[in-house]
Structure 1
Amino acid sequence: MTSDAVLFYADHPVEFVEDVIGAKPDTEQAKILRSLAANPMTAVRSGHGIGKSAVQAWAIIWFICTRPYPKIPCTAPTQHQLYDILWAEVSKWLRSNPALQREIIWTQERVYMAGAKEEWFAVARTSNTPDALQGFHSESLLFIIDEASGVDDKVFEPVLGALSTEGARLLMCGNPTQLQGFFYDAFHKNRAEYHTIHVDDRNSPRVSQEYIDRIRTMYGEDSDVFRVRVAGDFPKSEKDVFIPLSMVEKSINTDWKEPEKPLSVHIGCDVARFGDDKTVIGYKIDEKIYFHQKIQGQDTVRTAHEIALLGCRLVDKYHLETAIPVKIDDGGVGGGVTDNLRQIKRSDPDRFWWLSIVPVKFGQIIKHKYYHDTTTYMMAVVKKLLQTIDDDGNEKPVELILPDDADLAAQLSTRKYGITEKSKVKIESKKDVKARGQPSPDEADCVLLLCLPVKPSKAHPPKGTGRKE
């Protein structure tokens, strides 16, 4: 670009994206880009799927091309969000123009101007350490903070000092999941310091009407999941909800590194009974939960074989030498899955040595000081794992990392509770949930099973498998 073009585009990022990158920002994306050019600090709260990763990628390329020796630190709560989404988006848009691809070098951790790797760059750093954004000095600074609701306040502290430099910029975007913290304050007590933008999915051409209608129909426009994931509003956190959405979203946005040798592996299955209910099979590797299968109308024999095959794959992948607790919703038709798993183990005990079957009945009354039944106890276990403050008031890491699943987030964060006449906590039953017009909490019940603590089995691989005996 000529010097005149650089001067023009420095104040016109929308035109830069259209002319140089070759993309067409929609109305909401254009608002974000124009705010970034005009204001030192821009905060964007939105629902899911509005194209904010594309906007941030365009902003990075625009700033590199229109400022001398810029530094662009970028952060997000998880490696997945930072590298697999934002950094991949930068790579995609650089390829849109041969000149950009020739002049700007992309690597997995750094994007820089050719010949100026240490002075003219954008860099990706996850926010799991307080010093993620420390040590950056330049007359041209741009901080990009993605999924800002999930970034710890300590990470923001060096940003505020750096923003005192004239020409420095901050762009933070995210779903408004937390009712406290730096991102929340940007829209409340510190709002005068920011140019704030609110993007509702219903106003974005990039979000499908099918997605909006599904969340509205299943959970209602007044639910926190609709407010956060569609409307881009902060949650209300109703007083009679047992696990607030903010706690669930914090877990979803927590980084996790897969171990070579996990300390524990669990499998859980919530078995569908009728109608629109789903059979959900999941597994838990240390703190991290995955959904393996969600399906309607599957018979119990097929479900048992799916679980058996999943277990075999996990044994082989992690070279397991101890049994896997397989916790089955044993009420109603779930008993058929339990029976079939027992038959599978009897038919080939050497192959299925790891299969430790644990039947669980939801809603069964228990003798407990605080909790009325098994469902309430399991919900309490999950809540404690999600909490980031221990019983003594000290901060602690999240001990359960949930999958980014809209149905799961809604089911966990809309489950209500009451107090029995014996002064015990009681979570509403699945029947009561459905009576309120909510869908069956199948994904949530699978998570409850996965987190239920059980006594480990002493089973070990049979001799001759090549593993320790």
Structure 2
Amino acid sequence: MSKTPQAARSSSLADAIGGFTHDPLGHALFAYPWGEGALAGMNGPRAWQRAVLQEIGAHLADPATRHAPLRLARASGHGIGKSALVAMVVKWALDTCPDTRVLVTANTESQLDTKTGPEIAKWANLALTADWFRQTRRALTATAPGHEQGWRCDLVTWSEHNTEAFAGLHNQGKRIVLIFDEASGIADTVWEVALGALTDADTELIWLAFGNPTQNTGAFRACFGKHRALWRTAQIDARTVEGVNHAYLDELVAAYGADSDVVRVRVRGLFPSSGSMQFIPLDLVEAARTRDVPPGLPSDPVIFGVDCARFGDDESVLAIRCGRDARSRAWKAWRETDAMRLAGDIALEAQRHRPDAIFVDAGNIGAAVVDRLRQLLGDVPVIEVWFGGKGREAELEPGVSVPTANKRAEMWTRMRAWLARAALPDHERLRDDLIGPTYAFAADDTRIQLERKPDMKRRGLPSPDWADALACTFAEAVGPRARPAWLEPAPRDDDGAGRYGELG
């Protein structure tokens, strides 16, 4: 019986795809509608993607290496198309070898669900073989009857205490592909368990690790160091990749410097020069501690910033800033005080310094402090600040703005830029708070995010209460004052030390 036209076309497509069993680049060029629709203006994978696909193909095409594990790692700058390459590899692996098992994971569940997974789905839908596999949120499974369980790609999350998905990955005599996306953030224990997938004999074994080199320790870093004999590695400068926003990368270089950790990690694809990336350098803070108070304008607003804590080792802190001067007006700090007493004491300071705005950290007891201050100071704007709120672009250097992951990162970025010409109190706790937090980026993203307070405490550092209070003064722009009330004499409370300390 002759085949129907549809069956003939399907058979012809299967024969064509079968020719790319050991040719991932050929598959990518054949399977997608380059130059059309979503791929308009593209004639194929980017140069670095082609190189990876060719390296996989050469390994599999050689009978001497075909059944030896291929470990391939790429550390890169931002935006070079790592997730797109992951998607192309996944589709090639499934299309060209029946009963292939593919396992994909990432540094976080969010990365897997919002970046890696959608990219795999996008390319699977674009392929000529889109109907060969059924899509769900976390899997691609074969539509061929009887093969749903063994011919598939699974997107799995991990935890350091639950690694069963990696321990059970076996597929002897066929093909296994293991992909780590944003690999720098995947725990070492997951890497160790994944080694068990490389023990099957007579099996095509491919382990790929991609990511920004955000950490100077861990298993991803070891691929380029002590384990480099096991891995084929390369580090890719994003400025050498076509289709990347080169203007933005050049801005990062201009703002931070070519040898800074942010440029090493996010642009050059190099690991940071030290174990952590310090957001505010010590020399910037020390200069602000010793600099003469810059001359201000009578119209410079006086701004209060309040970081609230309840009990324990943390402190509630009032920072006072007027233009570039954060030194002339004494700050205050409280330990183990409740919201009503804290609000009352801040109201007294407001009578003394007549602020144009008061910004209060709304977490912890902050919401209650905001409500009470609004009752006590009806004529002074009291604005709540949510550190986890949406971050906007913030100016890091004149003319150079960077995106931020949340409100706290936005405020700290503005504060960092301000420090270059500002005057700070000569106080060691404030210095230590300012230089304490490290920074990173949202995975495969350019938004700066600051180290969280719980993570700092795990490193043995206190919560940066003093620096967070100062950062609050940068929460929003405050208009110039019409009447420079801060020039007027104000009564001084000589017993101000009391149960809270004055920072002079």
Q: Same fold (TM over 0.5)?
A: yes
Q: Which of 117, 128, 131 is equivalent to 1:102?
A: 131
**Aligned counterparts of 1:236 and 1:446: Cα–Cα separation in 2:** 30
Partner of 2:198: 163
SS class of match (1:35): helix
SS class of match (1:53): helix
SS class of match (2:273): coil
Identity %: 27
- Answer yes or no: is 1:374 the counterpart of 2:430: yes
**Aligned counterparts of 1:363 and 1:132: Cα–Cα separation in 2:** 52
Q: Which of 21, 25, 30 is equivalent to 1:10?
A: 21
- Answer yes or no: is 1:112 the counterpart of 2:168: no
Q: Describe how 1:209-220 pairs up with structure 2 within 5 A.
A: 209-220=246-257
Letter in 1 for 2:131: R
**Aligned counterparts of 1:227 and 1:110: Cα–Cα separation in 2:** 35
Report the RMSD for the aligned CA atoms in angstroms.
Answer: 4.8
Q: 1:220 to 1:345 in 2, by over 3 A?
A: same
Q: 1:345 to 1:234 in 2, by over 3 A?
A: same
- How far residue 409 of structure 1 moved from its aligned partner, in angstroms, is 5.5
SS class of match (1:191): coil
**Aligned counterparts of 1:225 and 1:447: Cα–Cα separation in 2:** 25
Q: Describe how 1:184-263 pairs up with structure 2 within 5 A.
A: 184-237=221-274
Partner of 2:314: none
**Aligned counterparts of 2:469 and 2:237: Cα–Cα separation in 1:** 26
- How far residue 62 of structure 1 moved from its aligned partner, in angstroms, is 0.7
- How far residue 160 of structure 1 moved from its aligned partner, in angstroms, is 1.8
Q: 1:220 to 1:22 in 2, by over 3 A?
A: same
**Aligned counterparts of 1:334 and 1:125: Cα–Cα separation in 2:** 56
SS class of match (1:10): coil
Letter in 1 for 2:30: D
**Aligned counterparts of 1:193 and 1:108: Cα–Cα separation in 2:** 33
**Aligned counterparts of 2:111 and 2:277: Cα–Cα separation in 1:** 32
| Unpaired runs of at least 5, structure 1 | 245-272, 285-298, 300-321, 367-371, 387-400, 413-424, 431-441, 450-469
Q: Describe how 1:195-344 pairs up with structure 2 within 5 A.
A: 195-237=232-274, 335-338=355-358
- How far residue 191 of structure 1 moved from its aligned partner, in angstroms, is 1.5
- How far residue 214 of structure 1 moved from its aligned partner, in angstroms, is 0.9
**Aligned counterparts of 2:55 and 2:449: Cα–Cα separation in 1:** 32
Partner of 1:133: 166
Q: 1:238 to 1:343 in 2, by over 3 A?
A: same
Aligned length, in residue pairs = 323
Partner of 1:308: none
Tell which structure's C-alpha radius of gyration is larger.
2
**Aligned counterparts of 2:252 and 2:166: Cα–Cα separation in 1:** 36
The one-character-per-residue Cα deviations of 1:425-468 (angstroms, maximum 9, x if unpaired) are 9x9x99xxxxxxxxxxx99946999xxxxxxxxxxxxxxxxxxx
Partner of 2:218: 181
Partner of 1:48: 78
TM-score (norm 1): 0.58
The one-character-per-residue Cα deviations of 1:44-102 (angstroms, maximum 9, x if unpaired) are 110010001000011111101011101111111111211111110111112214x5332
Q: 1:444 to 1:95 in 2, by over 3 A?
A: farther
Q: 1:365 to 1:334 in 2, by over 3 A?
A: farther
Q: Is the 8 A contact 1:179 1:235 kept in 2?
A: yes
Q: Which of 143, 148, 153 is equivalent to 1:122?
A: 153
SS class of match (2:167): coil
**Aligned counterparts of 1:32 and 1:339: Cα–Cα separation in 2:** 51
Q: Is the 8 A contact 1:187 1:196 kept in 2?
A: yes
Q: 1:403 to 1:181 in 2, by over 3 A?
A: closer
Q: Is the 8 A contact 1:378 1:448 kept in 2?
A: no
**Aligned counterparts of 1:447 and 1:407: Cα–Cα separation in 2:** 21
SS class of match (1:85): helix
**Aligned counterparts of 2:277 and 2:108: Cα–Cα separation in 1:** 31
Partner of 2:401: none
Letter in 2 for 1:408: I
Letter in 1 for 2:140: V
- How far residue 204 of structure 1 moved from its aligned partner, in angstroms, is 0.4
**Aligned counterparts of 2:248 and 2:105: Cα–Cα separation in 1:** 28
**Aligned counterparts of 1:213 and 1:26: Cα–Cα separation in 2:** 20
Q: Which of 24, 31, 46 is equivalent to 1:20?
A: 31
**Aligned counterparts of 1:93 and 1:76: Cα–Cα separation in 2:** 18
**Aligned counterparts of 1:334 and 1:61: Cα–Cα separation in 2:** 65
- How far residue 26 of structure 1 moved from its aligned partner, in angstroms, is 1.1
Query: Which deviates further from its counterpart, 181-190 or 227-236?
Result: 181-190
Q: 1:356 to 1:93 in 2, by over 3 A?
A: closer
Q: 1:232 to 1:3 in 2, by over 3 A?
A: same
Partner of 2:57: 37
Q: 1:242 to 1:35 in 2, by over 3 A?
A: same
- How far residue 159 of structure 1 moved from its aligned partner, in angstroms, is 2.1
**Aligned counterparts of 1:353 and 1:377: Cα–Cα separation in 2:** 25
The one-character-per-residue Cα deviations of 1:249-273 (angstroms, maximum 9, x if unpaired) are xxxxxxxxxxxxxxxxxxxxxxxx9
Structure 1 moving runs of 4+ over 3 Å: 1-4, 129-132, 238-244, 339-344, 346-349, 352-357, 361-366, 377-380, 401-412, 442-449
**Aligned counterparts of 1:241 and 1:152: Cα–Cα separation in 2:** 22
Q: 1:191 to 1:240 in 2, by over 3 A?
A: closer
SS class of match (2:255): helix
Q: Is the 8 A contact 2:71 2:232 kept in 1?
A: yes
Q: Is the 8 A contact 2:167 2:196 kept in 1?
A: no
| Unpaired runs of at least 5, structure 2 | 1-11, 35-43, 60-69, 282-295, 298-302, 309-322, 324-338, 361-369, 387-414, 416-422, 453-461, 476-504
SS class of match (2:20): helix
SS class of match (1:161): helix
Query: Which deviates further from its counterpart, 174-183 or 24-33?
Result: 174-183
The one-character-per-residue Cα deviations of 1:205-246 (angstroms, maximum 9, x if unpaired) are 1211211111011001010100010000111128995889xx
- How far residue 198 of structure 1 moved from its aligned partner, in angstroms, is 2.2
**Aligned counterparts of 2:74 and 2:354: Cα–Cα separation in 1:** 45
